A and B are shown apart, each in its own frame.
Chain A
Amino acid sequence: MNVERAQPQEDVSAWLAAQGGMELLRFIACGSVDDGKSTLIGRLLYESQMLLEDQLEALANDSRRIGTQGAELDFALLVDGLSAEREQGITIDVAYRFFATQRRKYIVADTPGHEQYTRNMVTGASTAELAIILIDARKGVLTQTRRHSYLVSLLGIRRIVLAINKMDLVDYSAQVFADIERDYREFAARIGLTDIVAIPVSALRGDNIVEPGASMPWYRGAALLQHLETVPVQDDAGAQPFRMPVQWVNRPNQDFRGFAGLIVGGSVRPGDTLRVLPSGSTSRVARIVTADGDLPLAVAGQSVTLTFQDEIDISRGDLLATAASAAGVADKFEANIVWMSEEPMLPGRPYLLKCGTRTVSAAVAQLKYKVNVNTLEELAARQLELNEIGLANLNLDQPLAFDPYSRNRDTGGFILIDRINNNTVGAGMLQAALRPAQDVHWQALDVSRANRSVQKNQQACVLWFTGLSGAGKSTIANLVEKRLFAMGRHTYLLDGDNIRHGLNRDLGFTDADRVENIRRVGEVARLMTDAGLIVLVSFISPFRSERRLARSLLGPGEFFEVYVDTPLEVAEARDPKGLYRKARAGQIRNFTGIDSPYEPPENPEIRIDTARMTAEQAAEQVIEQLRLAGVIDRDWVFFP
């Protein structure tokens, strides 16, 4: 075993040729500073000679100044940028470290081990093929060991190295090692981890890091680096069925039309029949084009450009799959979700979902449970907070081609993006499509909404009044309905307070309940437009995303957002129901405008400035806008 670099001066070309064929192993190191994780990673960098003279010099200086190892080098200082980061108020998250031995290059994901950093560990684990779980030999299997192992297993890492560290502090006891290994295997089997190699080490002393040490003659296995050099890597992706998400259509001229992407499963040869998903059409591969010439074969992990024998419709977001074993296509899924945002995940709220190269709109239909990552208990929950993990049913607005995450990380893993601020707020792993049998089938009706609208001589639509409590929504909506009614229109007014007495009386005023409140009203309003009615909805509806959800239920031109714009001071001064007073007194919680936000519409179809007009003028303005939009016929003659 020799981790020193070859002396390349002798024959650099031969050395370079050999280096060109080196493999890459990405792994994650899990544990806290107390387990000696930083020391271990620092030691690996040091032993693999990735440290250069000026870095060593800095390390020696720092070790003397702030180290914890007396006169010796404190390897933890090599990677511990964390205290400095805390001082600077910088987010502590995933750092990537690099080192190499003669046979392999390594990329280490280094994440802080504390509870609140589930998000970071999940991020680091998503690209890792192997996990090193560190255990302090004096402490054995701890809650955090279980948490790390659960996350590693959730992210689909199968290979575990159990590094039982600080063996020097337990007198290199074979018994301590055996006991911890047994405890861990017992627990790991329950979460499906079976490929475990346990190694007794001392990162501080260097025992069993590079080579088996003399201090533990009872241990006959490989040292840590020996194991990392020989453990099989990337051995499953190639055996899978072919998968390639289409990234980009390459069309430099009329004669060439190629589809570029990175192969995420299996292999492909010219002549193979591929299926384009979700459309389902098929064609044979003509060429595998690369800048280095056409290839006879391309495998998982390569970025290529494919051309086909037929002209078929393929665009970014499609998945190319072997016709023999195509991926599933569905729009309803069960998925594990890890929440990564300060703002909680709310069922019903639409998010963008990106899987492969496809981005669709998705909402959580039902949160089945969340997981206590320390005890693995499943708990009932209505929303997910930052760093929480749950199992949920997802509804997508378009079909998505996928594989279960356990079969392919790239066609089963997805991120969720906030539609307003564009942040990545969650990550998830598709488990399975929800079988249609579990769903209620849609009953096709012969009498359409268009028929019903024509019969009523009107265009069905929704007028969605939004604004603060006391803004005048209900007053204005009521006047508008009276005028429409007088004009012989068929209408119905859904009022927030009234609906909360019946349909929504089980809902409170938390964010999650507000979302559900609006979802239900949106659905009811949609049903009523199906019936051909002009529906007036008068709801505070404080969140943009829910109003957007309500809008998405209707066709273009059928949703009119009416923003009843009244400044908070004015609404509060009016306080028709005495609610602001109570909210200010702390008797009502989560009151919009006081301790719960109101997000004003950005582009409402109709904006009413109540400070500048009476309720009657406002109603007239709405009617006029409906005329302009063609909802109401101008020439309609009515007799008041």
Chain B
Amino acid sequence: MSKLSHLSRLEAESIHILREVVAECERPVMLYSIGKDSSVMLHLALKAFFPAKPPFPLLHIDTTWKFRQMIEFRDLTARRLGMDLIVHVNPDGVAMGINPFVHGSALHTDIMKTQGLRQALDRHGFDAAFGGARRDEEKSRAKERVFSIRSAQHRWDPKRQRPELWRLYNARKAKGESLRVFPLSNWTELDIWQYIYHQDIPIVPLYLAAERPVVERDGALIMVDDERLPLEPGERPQLRQVRFRTLGCYPLTGAIESTADSLPAVIAEMLAARTSERHGRMIDHDAAASMEKKKQEGYF
């Protein structure tokens, strides 16, 4: 009897989770953040429902500060796959002129991302949302459930999270409540890259090294993706060979210097890497906003 590889087992488990939600929930949606984890999650959804198309739309919560290449990639992907794509921008945030420079990353993330997500879920009446979070990302994620129940106000109540045994997931909920479901819970960052490599999954080119205009701030390399980035006196963008380990709002995402311009090179570099993934994401550095707190407020 042939044994399954770890990637095959992870793949089968994720497909099982995706199908379970579609079978038991009325209106699922897939949170599509355009990053590598989203790319893998979307790829798994295509497999789970083949030859049918995944029976749910993609939802992107656009903070208006994403890299331009991300937006191009997003629209191209949806068109290529013929998937419905819902793009939601928090109109209140736009009206308030929220931006990460003036208001800080915590407030920006809360209003544009967390509040925006809640608005979109409410507006469309989605009762289950897939997210690409993984348990290996951060200490507090290690005990996150695959099916995470949220109140009608989208709050995460640690006392109400359900035990998950075997492959049995409980998708039942009261009216107004919803689920966040994480099909990639048991994947590690390395698993994601290996799977992308083996399955030849398209990713945003920003993950690969290229010459890009950056400025250095507080030890992080910030890419000057458009003219909205206010330059400090004397600050001048320099062209450097960089890539990104995670993608988010460009003013909040640090690049690393790298020459890895192919997938194997990225993986090789990652294996030798000495800095963990979320290090490059500024939102985690805001002391007041621990992951637990953000989750309780409705962040993924």
Interface residues of A (CB under 8 A from B): 5, 8-9, 12-13, 16, 19-24, 52-55, 81, 88-91, 93-98, 100, 104-105, 107, 110, 119-120, 122-123, 126-127, 233-234, 238-239, 247-248, 250-252, 256, 258, 260-262, 264, 267, 289-292, 299, 301-303, 305, 316, 340, 352, 354-355, 357, 409-410, 413-415, 417, 421-424, 427
Contact = CB atoms under 8 A, between A and B. Distances in A.
Contacts of B172: 352, 417, 422
Given A96-B142, A233-B3, A422-B174, A9 B272 contact: yes
A16 B267 contact: yes
B126 to A, nearest CB: 18
Contact of B6 (A23, A261, A414, A423): A23
B12 A301 contact: yes
| Size bracket, chain B contacts | 35 or more
Main secondary structure of the interface of B (DSSP, over half): helix
Nearest to A264: B167
B50 A52 contact: no
B260 to A, nearest CB: 10
Given A91-B159, A303-B15, A16 B164 contact: no
B20 A247 contact: yes
A20 B11 CA distance: 12
B46 interface: yes
B292 to A, nearest CB: 7
B168 A414 contact: yes
B91 interface: no
B47 interface: yes
Contacts of A409: 166
13 contacts: A12-B265, A19-B194, A20-B198, A53-B275, A93-B143, A96-B135, A97-B142, A100-B190, A248-B22, A252-B53, A267-B1, A301-B4, A303-B11
A52 B165 contact: no
B5 A303 contact: no
Contacts of B2: 299
B173 to A, nearest CB: 6
Contacts of A8: 264, 267-268, 271-272
A354 B19 CA distance: 16
B67 to A, nearest CB: 24
Given A9-B272, A12-B268, A417 B170 contact: yes
Contacts of A22: 5-7
B163 interface: yes
Residue of B3, B47, B274 ringed by the most chain A CB atoms within 10 A: B3
Contacts of A16: 194, 197-198, 264, 267
Nearest to A316: B23
Interface of B: 1-13, 15-16, 19-20, 22-23, 46-53, 135-136, 139-140, 142-143, 158-168, 170, 172-174, 185-186, 188, 190-191, 194, 197-198, 264-265, 267-268, 271-276, 279, 292
A47 to B, nearest CB: 16
A252 B50 CA distance: 9
Given A16-B197, A24-B9, A316-B23, A354 B170 contact: yes
A424 B194 contact: no
Nearest to B10: A24
Main secondary structure of the interface of A (DSSP, over half): mixed
Residue of B53, B163, B279 ringed by the most chain A CB atoms within 10 A: B163
Contacts of B273: 52
A239 B194 CA distance: 29
Nearest to B6: A24
A410 B166 contact: yes
Contact of A52 (B10, B20, B275, B292): B275
Residue of A8, A122, A421 ringed by the most chain B CB atoms within 10 A: A8
Contacts of A415: 163, 165, 168, 170
B11 A413 contact: no
Nearest to B277: A52
Contacts of B166: 126-127, 409-410, 413
A354 to B, nearest CB: 6
A413 B12 contact: no
A58 B139 CA distance: 12
Given A20-B5, A262-B16, A422-B174, A119 B163 contact: yes
B1 A122 contact: no
Contact of A413 (B6, B46, B165): B165
B142 A250 contact: no
A234 B4 contact: yes
Contacts of B268: 8-9, 12
A413 B51 contact: no
A95 B272 contact: no
Contacts of B16: 247, 262, 303
Contacts of B164: 123, 424
Given A93-B163, A96-B186, A291 B20 contact: no
Given A88-B292, A105-B6, 8 more contacts: A24-B5, A81-B143, A95-B143, A247-B19, A248-B23, A290-B50, A291-B50, A415-B168
Nearest to A8: B268
Given A98-B188, A415-B168, A423-B160, A23 B46 contact: no
Contact of B19 (A21, A120, A260, A421): A260
A105 B136 CA distance: 13
Contact of A424 (B170, B173, B191): B170
Contacts of B264: 8, 12-13, 16
Contacts of B167: 262, 264, 410
